[in-house]
Structures are given as structure tokens and as C-alpha cells.
Structure 1
Amino acid sequence: MSASKISNDYEAVLAYCCDKTMNGYEQALHYGRLSGYFTKDNKLTAMGHKVARLIEDDLAA
């Protein structure tokens, strides 16, 4: 996977988490870790990449 695709996926999932928490960066990352989207070192998990696909396809609620 290209670096730009990984970056785009990360940004999409982080924005999704921000919307869910209605809070800042740290709270969004915490929510993303609890949801299984990010690892302890804030990298996207396989689930995070799947969520990015759903966001990209406008299927994430």
C-alpha cells in the first residue's frame, strides 16, 4: 500500500473518530484505540483500514 493511501486512510479514520467523540485529537485517538482502529503507537490496524474503505464508500455511520 502506498504511503499516500495509508495517510489518507489514517486521516479519514481520525476524522471519523473526531466526529464520534466531538472532541480533540487525543480523545479521537483514544476512541480509535478502544474501537480497534489504531494500535498503541497510533498506527492503523487492519480494522482501521476496513473502516477507511467504508468511509470512502460512504457506508460508515
Structure 2
Amino acid sequence: MSVIYVLITISIIVALVFLYAFVKAVKQGQFDDTYTPSVRMLFEDETKKAETNPKTENQ
């Protein structure tokens, strides 16, 4: 039974280490996407294509 307490303690410690690493990475901007916003303007939206193309609406 004491092995369960040891495993639960170790798993909580490991989970806290991963949570700390995740929070630190987010604060440092590790997950910021700097490439997509600059390229997004090059692609047309699908809704704009459907609205501006009258041929697809009449058929």
C-alpha cells in the first residue's frame, strides 16, 4: 500500500514539473506564431470567393 503513496507523490511532482515548463514556455513566447499572420493576407477566404462569384450562385 505504501508503494501507491510513493507513485502518487512522484506523479504529482512530475506533473508539476511539466506544468512549470509549459507556463515558462508560454511566457517566453515559445508558442507565438509569427509566420502565419504575414502569409494569411496572400490567401483568399472561401466565403469571399462564393460571394464574389455570381456564376456559382446561378447554377
Q: TM-score category by the smaller chain?
A: 0.3 to 0.5
Larger radius of gyration: 2
Higher relative contact order (CA 8 A, sep 6+): 1
TM-score normalised over the length of structure 2: 0.34
